[in-house]
């Protein structure tokens, strides 16, 4: 499949959120990526269900919601109700991983598991056939605009090998420090979904930036 682009709304101009939503709707982007932070699991606070619900009303593409929160299972139903189509939560925040994966799937959403930079992909071996997506954090979660962690290439390769070995249909998403300089290499390593925030929204023409990421040579 052709790789997907999921602009990170964390980097958009929230004073003109409607304009950013319309731009993504009319671009070659595939998903909206929404980062939910609680100030506990990560040292930052972003937005919650009301903003997700507002974006859902205007969005013409799926909402890819990434929970960076403690006890994520408490909020699966809330984010389903707010409009999430794909819901990812952290391995590091989930005590009962298999149960949480199926709690998300049983609500009618795609289930993703996220790994922090220090977390070994081999820890997902027992659930890789159950999960719909694995999100590799290629920066330490909490803030946008950070530099890409080079070890992420090795992790992505190891994850892709595991997926193929287990005949899993899981997609690989990467978030953090994605730029025009490394996007092609990430896709070559096996990434299916590129999340990009600063690279898109700091560009003079965000629509053109999305097109450039989508049409990698």
Report, as residue numbers or ranges, the catalytic residues.
35, 175
Q: Give the tokens for residue 40.
A: 């506990």
Question: What are the tokens at 94?
Answer: 């989930």
Contact 162, 197 (CB under 8 A): no
- Spatial CB neighbours of 201, under 8 Å, sequence gap ≥ 6: 7, 11, 12, 13, 20
- The strand pairing partners of 136, in sequence order, are 115, 174
53-92 residues labelled b (16+ CB within 10 A) or e (exposed)? bbbbeebebbbbbbbbbeebbebbeebbebbbbbbbbbbe
How many angstroms separate the CA atoms of 205 and 209, rounded?
A: 6
């Amino acid at each position: 499949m052709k790789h997907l682009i999921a602009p990170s709304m964390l980097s958009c101009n929230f004073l003109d959120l409607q304009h950013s939503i319309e731009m993504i709707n009319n671009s070659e982007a595939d998903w909206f990526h929404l980062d939910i932070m609680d100030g506990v699991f990560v040292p930052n606070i972003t937005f919650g269900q009301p903003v997700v619900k507002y974006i859902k009303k205007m969005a013409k593409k799926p909402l890819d919601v990434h929970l960076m929160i403690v006890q994520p299972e408490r909020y699966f139903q809330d984010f389903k109700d707010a409009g999430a189509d794909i819901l990812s939560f952290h391995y590091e925040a989930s005590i009962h991983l298999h149960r949480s994966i199926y709690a998300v799937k049983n609500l009618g959403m795609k289930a993703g598991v996220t790994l922090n930079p220090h977390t070994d992909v081999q820890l997902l071996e027992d659930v890789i056939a159950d999960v719909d997506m694995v999100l590799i954090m290629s920066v330490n979660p909490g803030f946008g605009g950070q530099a890409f962690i080079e070890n992420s290439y090795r992790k992505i390769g190891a994850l892709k090998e595991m997926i193929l070995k287990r005949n899993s249909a899981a997609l690989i998403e990467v978030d953090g420090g994605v730029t025009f300089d490394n996007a092609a290499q990430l896709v070559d390593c096996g990434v299916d979904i590129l999340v990009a925030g600063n690279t898109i929204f700091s560009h003079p023409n965000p629509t053109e930036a999305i097109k450039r990421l989508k049409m990698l040579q």
